[in-house]
Amino acid sequence: MPARIGRDDFQTEVTSSDVPVLADFYSDSCIPCKRMSPILSQLEEEYSGRVKIVKINTNFEKELVAEHDITAAPTLILFVGGQEVTRIRGAAKKEDIKAILDNI
Active-site pick, 22, 33, 36, 53 = 33
Sign of the Cα torsion 97, 40, 44, 13 reads positive
Q: Which of 4, 30, 87, 104 is catalytic?
A: 30
- How many alpha carbons lie under 13 Å from residue 97 in its C-beta half-sphere? 27
33 is catalytic: yes
For residue 67, give the nearest of 79, 80, 52 by alpha carbon: 79
Q: What amino acid positions are annotated as catalytic residues? A: 30, 33
